[in-house]
Structure 1
């Protein structure tokens, strides 16, 4: 493992491009981690979100997720606290229980970012959700027994399906 400091090729407040040796990679200057949340309601529904993602020019079906430490007021926040806050912000559901499922590189050849996937249960609806002012998030409650077919239908309609759905379901043993 190399401890070589990266050379900065480009950096904005939100994204940087760096080089170590012969390898170029991206990272966020203000956050090294992100969280994803597999949220399951007391009625055994999986809480998913849908939003348009500019880099892929498509709507994406995802688990609720967010960056860790990208907002000044939340710097130093525990990963589980960020996960719980993002779940409320995006979906309106507050978890009664939240547990870490796995931590993994987001895309090891592209970015230094690590993703931490959580399972959130004992959910209580506390707000409308939908994200912050600049987000346009649609919330879906999908019965877990119908999830595979629902995702296939969404994919056939032209939506992209984020891999974190499958990874978190596998890690939760569902």
Structure 2
């Protein structure tokens, strides 16, 4: 039996037996998109993340079905939409790389990582609502050096970048 300890619109804390964990009341899945341009650039985003109190370099990502207008949306459709909203790129081809628990000891959420190719720039990107997303196009050959430089500057680098690259065999 699941006991609710605390819940808001976006986050809940629950207990089963002696185990406390978090869950998103409005979404059980998230997506992350490794997007590669025709020029062999990796499309990354940068945004300030309140929990870690600093900017984070990430692959475009988002929650599945977290907003009323997107309830029931297919997971791949969420990946397409998030890539477009955050970066302005539309993916001509998108394929699943892996589905994995996001943090199995903390949350029930599963993350679906995708590879997006055949990209076309259709919009400015930058996110929706109050999101303030910076877009970075990084030549794949220079990616590891670029990421180290960002870490040296005090930014955090999300591990999903490395996981997606590995799953894609890049």
1:53 to 37, 42, 49: 49
Aligned twin of 1:153 = 149
Q: 2:147 aligned with 1:125, yes or no?
A: no
Aligned partner of residue 111 in structure 2, secondary structure: strand
CA distance in structure 2 between the aligned counterparts of 1:134 and 1:104, rounded to whole angstroms = 28
Aligned partner of residue 69 in structure 2, secondary structure: helix
Runs of 4+ in 1 over 4 A off after TM superposition: none
When the two chains are superposed, the root-mean-square deviation of aligned CA atoms in Å is: 0.5
Structure 1 gaps, min length 5: none
Q: 2:14 aligned with 1:18, yes or no?
A: yes
Aligned partner of residue 153 in structure 1, secondary structure: helix
TM-score (structure 2 length as normaliser): 0.99
Structure 2 gaps, min length 5: none
Report matched runs for 1:30-41 at 5 Å. Answer: 30-41=26-37
C-alpha deviation, 1:133, in angstroms: 2.0
TM-score (structure 1 length as normaliser): 0.97
1:88 to 75, 84, 87: 84
C-alpha deviation, 1:25, in angstroms: 0.3
CA distance in structure 2 between the aligned counterparts of 1:166 and 1:105, rounded to whole angstroms = 16
CA distance in structure 2 between the aligned counterparts of 1:153 and 1:82, rounded to whole angstroms = 31
Which digits, 9 at most, give the CA deviation of each residue in 1:96-148, with x for residues without a partner?
00000000000011100000000000000000000012100000000000000
Matched residue count = 170
